[in-house]
Amino acid sequence: MAEGVRAVEELLRAPITVRGALIAPQLGATARGQALRQALSSRGVECVEVSESDFASAAETESPQGVLAVGEMPARSLATVPLGPRSRVLVLDAVQDPGNAGTMLRTAAALGTTATVALTGTVDLWNAKVVRSAMGAHFTHPAIMTTWEEFDAWRAAEGFSLWGADAHGEELAGAVHSAPSRLALAVGNEGAGLSAETRARAVRTVALPARAMESLNVAVAAGILLYELRG
């Protein structure tokens, strides 16, 4: 489910089948909203006009923009990830906050990260709040839910090393130049950090220098790390 003008605009730009949309009167209050309504119609998307009060009962935002669209989730798996000689994969290890997960998806997409992989215990990447936070990143960036067993087999077959982000790890500046060509970077749960499963598999843990702070928000840290490690 994509809610809001920008999210639905991004959905229409993506190669995803849009099943239908709810439209409320406030969408027509701006030229951009009117253009989106026309774009939905020109694509042949079935649009149901509802009152503002009825739309509010379906919307999840505090100030609805009057448009909500439902699309088919793309069939993605680790086997469909488009890999190059130099690839970076973000791994979400039991990240539970939808806002953090969505922000990291959008950041990963913006920085050219090959894919984002969510392991067991992570919030559903297609949760409406995650989709809203990612602001359309899902529609083109490979976002995949998987298990440790599947991820381990894929990493071994494709030659990925696993690093973990940890406040007590080696400072990234000293490790970035030796990063392997295919690297999976795991970030952990907002409170507990990396899981025991990740720690047992990671060949290296890296950290950012944080003065007078024990740690950074996981989405902020992931963005900085991905930028420094970008391929």
Residue 217 has pLDDT above 60, yes or no: yes
| SS3 label, residue 109 | helix
Domain boundaries, the chain: 2-71, 78-229
> In which band, very low, low, confident or very high, does the pLDDT at 167 lie, cut at 50, 70 and 90?
confident
Q: What pTM was estimated for this model as a whole?
A: 0.88
Dmax (CA) of the chain: 58
Q: What is the pLDDT of residues 86-125, one digit of tens each?
A: 999 999 999 999 999 999 999 999 999 999 999 999 999 9
CATH 3.30.1330.30 holds for 2-71: yes
Q: Which CATH architecture group holds 78-229?
A: 3-Layer(aba) Sandwich (3.40)
Distance CA 74, CA 142 (A): 9
Residue 25 has pLDDT above 60, yes or no: yes
User: Scanning the structure block, which residue is given the tokens 């039991």?
Assistant: 94
User: CA-CA distances (angstroms) from residue 97 to 169, 193, 194?
Assistant: 23, 13, 15
- Indicate if 78-229 has the same CATH topology as 2-71: no
For residues 63 and 201, which has the higher predicted lDDT (pLDDT)? Answer: 201
Q: What is the pLDDT of residues 28-59, one digit of tens each?
A: 999 999 999 999 999 999 999 999 999 999 88
